[in-house]
Structure 1
Amino acid sequence: MNESLNKPPLKVAVFLSAMEVPAWIYKLLERINDSTYASVEVIVLNGGGDTKTCNEPVHGLLHKGRQSMVTRIQQLQEGFSNRYKSYPDYNEKHDLKTLLNTVSIEVFEPLHGHNEIYFRDDDIKQLEQYDVDVLLNLDENDLRGDVTEAFPYGVWHYIFTDKHTNYQAKPGARETLADWPETSSALLYAGKSLNDDKVITQSYSCPDNTWIHKTNNLNYWKSLSFMPRALERCHRLGKAAFYDELCRNTPHPLFLAKEPPRGFGKLEMLSLLMKKAFQKVQLRINDRLFYEQWFLLFNLNPATSNVLDSYQYILPPKDRFWADPFVIYRDNRYYIFFEELLFAEDRGFLSVMTIDQQGRCSEPEVILKEDYHLSYPFVFEHEGEFFMIPESAQNKTIDLYRCTGFPNQWVHEMTLMKNVHAVDATLFFKDNKWWMFTNIKENEGASSHEELFLFYSESLMSENWVAHPANPIISDVKKARPAGKIIEKNGKLYRPSQNCSRYYGYGLNFNEITVINEHSYQEHTVTSIEPNWDKKVIATHTFNTDHDITIIDGIIRRSHYR
């Protein structure tokens, strides 16, 4: 029995600048309000009108004179990007008065430092009367000082990008305009000063290559889950275990800035905008001359070949792509199961082809089509039968198919999970349990590339897979999303994963699994593959092997006119 069900919910205070909040904050508080592990007891509004300024740093004053021009340039880019906003819009305003209409409201006028706020002693005493367990700071400024030690579970706050480095730049601005391969977000346990912060959750995302709004939309929608997850974990573990875990997450000093704090200079901003404009023109020209196509590559060798330019290419016709290859060795030949997609239809289905011992390929044969997109045909053998779990995120299911006539006859056996946006489900049997790795998009507007979840069951044929208590076990666009079957080699386990940090499917990682049980999961990256062996190949995101064959996929840039 889950002991946390018998515990009273944690009492939460929320610090806000106003009752009208962005959509992502509204959804965050809605989730907490609907939960059994926490309840919002009081909202503290930042009155702020007559607050004093506490020793504003010199670098803030030096930048102040040029800030208005920089801000106007940023607003110009942001305003233009409104035409290309992603939806749902993380920044759309919602009023909390209806959602939290029974919650008490306090208005404090704290002391302000530079990007920091200090509650007065009387305010802290007033807040302590509510007997709250934790204060969630959703204001733009960090809470510091004695208030951080006033509650059993402390004060929590978000950081998006490295706001301590780029405090004058809008979150997501530098990453988008300067072509950073990743951006970050984190939930921190606030210390009395910046140096005392501890990491509760840290995550990495891929910025959009043009629009700041799209970069932030993905990042904020994902990050709203951090606070509810941490509250549930506190409620389940208790204070001592949660704090021990917190210290393990931050074993070393936390350095947030790699360069002195600075915003955008006028010339730098103009230079970056001109560079972006040139990139868009160049992209338009390339789109006229070339198109990108997923294709398959294989190598026949008793040992897994790491010489990628020795792989043989299997190029599809120009009207389609082939991706996500899985392989089964049977009857002295290799059966390659893969996603096939016609560009004109833009809906994936599953096909199979064979490769013989001389490397000769058969024509593909369609094996499974549905009314929704299918990909990633995870094929495996169990008790003398073949099964398949294709990706069916568009249908919000994880489905199991049974093979009734190998390799091309498949019937739907059962649905393992419903109402879930899950991609690339990958199963592995160990210690008398089935383990399922899958990336899940918890919130509409977030990305499916960034968070890996783990489930387990004693039976393959189960609708009740148990969520691992450490979920998500990975929150990092560089290594979360599965890229093929778990590999067993020399007594070790390796999980292939996608690196989507530059763009979707950019490269591959191989992660050694060192701990996997009902309580813990640990892995570390041991090697990686980037698409640098052929100048025409710009991505690779699936790796599988069986017997003497290794098969991967890639994106190749092909001419429209040849």
Structure 2
Amino acid sequence: MTNMNHFENTILKIGIIVKDIEIPHWQYYIIEEINKSHFATISNLIISSGTNDFSPKFTFIDNIFKNIFEKIESNRQLGEDDSQKIKKLEIDPSLKITNINSASSTSKIKDENLDLIINLSSEKLSDLSNASKYGLWSIHHGPNPYELNQPLGFWEILKCQNVTNSLLLFYYPPGRCQIIDKSYVRTNILSPKRTQNLIYWKTCSLILNNLKIFYILGPSRFEQLSNHNVEFSNEIKINFPHFKDYYEVISIMKKRHSRAKSISKNLEQWILLYNFGNSLSTEFHKFKEIRPPEDRFWADPFVLFRDNTYFVFFEEFIYGDKGNISYLTIDENEVISEPKRILEESYHMSYPYIFEYDNSIFMIPETHSNKTIDLYECIEFPSKWKFKKNLIKDIDAVDSTPLFFDNKWWIFTSVKTNPYLENWDDLFLFYSDDILSDNFISHPINPVVSDIQKSRSAGKIFFSQNKILRPSQNSSISYGGSISLNEINVLTPDDFKEKKIKSFLPWSEKIVGIHTINHTNKLSIIDAKYLKSC
């Protein structure tokens, strides 16, 4: 799973800007991971001056509500996952340390012949873009690079925004700036502190992934992003809340906490629903339910049509146990059989992607608990299957979705690369000439999508009116909350682009999620998270 790289055998020399040698855990993690990588090393630690041009002006009543809010948030215990826990850097004697405290600082940094400078401090130091060979990267939290909303995650609750985002900005001379990447996490509606924790850990992946892409494809990959140009400026507007804002957010958090407690008194159960029609049906209110027994849920339905019968393969999860693969049948008279378990391992299995190839029937179920992407072959349809091979090993991947396109096999899968993040945030792409290959190649711009609203797969990729359409999960409100439909515009070994074109939402108060959709012959089938009182 390796790629050719632009810099051949050269290791990138990186300068990192921080405020002090005692830094938040997320910054410590970035520095640690860069130094452990095979493509970059930190050769200069740049200590910023620590000065800020902004300071909030609070009234007496502002401070009262600010203190109430901070007391509520101080009770959020994050443990070892706390991205803002302070850690002290262990300084290698060979590491050059430069303090930004005079006009001569830039020339001193230039003398180090750095390839790239990465600014982890909150200061806007874009004037250092000419102090390295390939400019300066800087992180900005929020949708607008000229506006900073503090505290992070607070305004998203106030404005009912389901996602909180980060921008990776690329400053380079002469006076240019571009947004080279974006990343989105779910806003925690009960706690800005927990949103901050997510966004800081996601920032780690944003920087580390793009540094790897920079190494493989070179600086031209980013310099060509002309449609993401932003005006080069050190000016930024800072938005701080006042007492009315604190009061409203505290009220919202209280109401949502009460609602979350009431929902927890109900049982959420994934069920299957289907409808017949000549094309993919999305009139979900017309679908008929297939309910599992009370002690389990059924989800992730995939269909194969044979002998005038629809064979529906799905995850069956008995509460307190693990997932396994079962199937049931639906005939053209809508007679539904009893389910039968067909595939079970010592670890969790789900998302049974089934497909035909070379006169055989294969399945790629989710096996992330085994840290593999596995292929199974049917030896007696539909009930007998055997393990064929590991397609990819040592990977924490969910909902792997293959596609044969342009004489290549592509696997779309969501991969966990950061121990502090979930495995549904980022979509990775692997490709090979043969589905039975031992060498699936990691796409050079992985992750190809980093967006909680549309990363994780939600069913088979299909063709419609000469378009490639990829269903994906939108988990910005809750896990499996709704489905996005994305049109893939570019799919090559060097590039990937897609555009969201449609959303499929829950259609009643009792349905609070939908995360798989498939269509075969005349059958459309989905799963849905059904809410019912205990």
TM-score range, shorter chain: over 0.9
Structure 2 CA distance for partners of 1:142 and 1:64, relative to 1, 3 Å: farther
Residue 97 of structure 1 corresponds to which residue in structure 2? 90
Match of 1:91, SS state, is: coil
Residue matched to 1:127: 109
In the other structure, the counterpart of 2:425 is: 450
Structure 2 match to 1:302: 278
In structure 1, what is the equivalent of residue 141 of structure 2?
A: 160
Whether 1:234 and 2:214 are equivalent positions in the alignment is yes
Aligned with residue 80 of structure 1, among 75, 79, 94: 75
Task: Choose from 216, 224, 233 the match for 2:196.
Answer: 216
CA distance in 2, matches of 1:502, 1:328: 32
Matching residue of 2:19: 17
Contact 1:222 / 1:447 at 8 angstroms: preserved in 2?
no
Shift of 1:550: 0.6
Q: CA deviation at 1:361?
A: 1.1
Alignment-derived partner of residue 99 in structure 2? 107
| Residue 515 in structure 1 maps to residue 490 in structure 2 | yes
Corresponding residue of 2:401: 426
| Post-superposition offset of 1:481 | 0.9
Which whole-Å deviations, capped at 9, do the CAs of 1:271-306 have from their partners, x for residues lacking one?
Answer: 322332233223323433x31111111111122223
8 Å contact from structure 1 (residues 218, 447) kept in 2: no
1:316 alignment partner in structure 2: 292
AA aligned to 2:357 is H
State the distance in 1 between where 2:89 and 2:45 align. Answer: 10
Aligned counterparts of 2:372 and 2:93: Cα–Cα separation in 1 = 36
Contact 1:187 1:226 in 2 (8 A): yes
In structure 1, give the amino acid aligned to 2:420: G
Trace 1:372-383 onto structure 2 (pairs within 5 A).
372-383=347-358
- In the TM superposition, residue 210 of structure 1 has moved relative to its aligned partner by 1.4
Residues in 2 aligned to 1:255 and 1:292: alpha-carbon distance in whole angstroms: 49
Partners of 1:485 and 1:552 lie apart in 2 by 12
Tell me the residue number matched to 2:259: 282
State how far apart, in whole Å, the 2-side matches of 1:216 and 1:11 are: 29
Q: Is contact 1:177–1:273 with CA below 8 Å preserved after alignment? A: no
Q: CA deviation at 1:70?
A: 5.4
Matched pairs, number = 532
Residues 187-227 of structure 1, C-alpha deviation per residue, up to 9 Å, x if partnerless?
1113699x953112101111222133332232222221222
User: Offset at 1:230?
Assistant: 2.6
**Inter-CA distance 26–61: structure 2 relative to 1 (3 Å threshold):** closer
SS at match of 2:435: coil
Shift of 1:548: 0.8
Q: Under a length normalisation based on structure 1, what TM-score does the superposition of the two structures give?
A: 0.88
CA-CA distance at 1:454 after TM superposition = 0.8
Q: Name the amino acid aligned to 1:189.
A: F
**For 1:219 and 1:509, how far apart are their aligned partners in 2?**
22
> Structure 1: how far apart are the matches of 2:390 and 2:82?
32
Distance 1:87 1:148, change over 3 A: same
Match of 1:404 among 379, 403, 413: 379
Describe the shift of the 1:205–1:231 C-alpha distance in structure 2 as closer, same or farther (beyond 3 A): same
Is contact 2:134-2:172 (8 Å) kept?
A: no
Q: Given that residues 487 and 500 in structure 2 are in contact (C-alpha distance below 8 angstroms), is that contact kept between their aligned partners in structure 1?
A: yes
Aligned partners of 1:449 and 1:255: how far apart in 2? Answer: 35
**Counterpart code for 1:208:** N
Q: What is the SS of the residue equivalent to 1:293? A: strand
What residue is the counterpart of 1:264 in the other structure?
A: 241
* 2:428 match: secondary structure: strand
Does 2:164 align with 1:183? yes
- Paired with 2:256 and 2:348, the residues of 1 have a C-alpha distance of 31
CA contact (8 A) 1:217 1:445 kept: no
CA distance in 2, matches of 1:214, 1:529: 28
1:143 Cα deviation from its structure 2 partner: 0.9
Deviation at 1:168, TM superposition (A): 6.2
**TM-score normalised according to structure 2 size:** 0.92
Range with greater deviation from structure 2 (461-470 or 538-547): 461-470
Q: Which amino acid aligns with 1:528?
A: S
Q: Secondary structure at the match of 1:126?
A: helix
SS of the residue corresponding to residue 335 of structure 2 reads coil
Counterpart residue identity of residue 80, structure 1: N
Aligned partners of 2:395 and 2:415 also within 8 Å: yes
CA shift at 1:15, angstroms?
1.1
Match of 2:532 in 1: 558
Query: Which sits farther off after the overlay, 484-493 or 268-277?
Result: 268-277
Aligned to 2:152: 171
**Corresponding residue number in structure 2 for 1:114:** none
* Residue type at the aligned position of 2:390: T
CA 1:483–1:254 in structure 2 vs 1: closer, same or farther (change >3 Å)?
Answer: farther
Distance in 1 (CA, whole Å) between partners of 2:472 and 2:166 is: 21
Deviation at 1:148, TM superposition (A): 2.2
Q: Determine what percentage of the aligned residue pairs are the same residue.
A: 32
Whole-angstrom CA distance in 1 between matches of 2:151 and 2:498 = 34
Equivalent AA in structure 1 for residue 260 of structure 2: L
Structure 1, gaps ≥5 residues long: 110-119
Counterpart amino acid of 1:512?
E
Partner Cα distance (1:61, 1:272) in 2: 18
Equivalent position SS for 2:105? helix
Q: Matched residues in 2 for 1:128 and 1:156: separation?
A: 16
Deviations 1:165-186 (A, max 9, x none): 8746222233356542111012
Per-residue deviation at 1:403?
Answer: 1.0
Say if 2:140 and 2:168, in contact at 8 Å, map to a contact too: yes
What displacement does 1:436 show? 0.4
Q: Is the 8 A contact 1:17 1:47 kept in 2?
A: yes
Is the 1:165–1:262 contact (alpha carbons within 8 Å) kept by the matching residues of 2?
A: no
CA distance in 1, matches of 2:232, 2:478: 28
Task: Please name the residue that 1:344 is paired with.
Answer: 320
Q: Which amino acid aligns with 1:313?
A: E
* Paired AA for residue 84 in structure 2: N
CA distance in 1, matches of 2:129, 2:123: 14
> What are the superposed Cα offsets for residues 93-144 of structure 1, whole Å, 9 maximum, x if unpaired?
322225x4421112232xxxxxxxxxx4311111111111221111122213
Q: What do residues 234-289 of structure 1 show as CA deviations (whole Å, max 9, x unaligned)?
A: 333334x23433434x15669999x974222223213322332233223323433x
Shift of 1:17: 0.9
- SS of residue matched to 2:361: strand
Please state whether the residue corresponding to 1:215 is helix, strand or coil: helix
Cα drift, residue 414 of structure 1: 0.9
Q: Is the 8 A contact 1:86 1:445 kept in 2?
A: no
The two structures, once aligned, show a CA RMSD in angstroms of 2.7
Aligned counterparts of 2:232 and 2:409: Cα–Cα separation in 1: 37
Of residues 271-280 and 488-497 in structure 1, the stretch that sits farther from structure 2 once superposed is 271-280
Residues 164, 261 of structure 1: 8 Å contact kept:
no
Alpha-carbon contact 1:499-1:505 (below 8 Å) kept: yes
Instruction: Find the counterpart in structure 2 of residue 524 from structure 1.
Output: 499
| In 2: Cα distance, 1:158 partner to 1:476 partner | 17
1:186 is aligned with what amino acid? L
Give the letter for the 2:97 counterpart. I
Give the superposition deviation at 1:496. 0.9
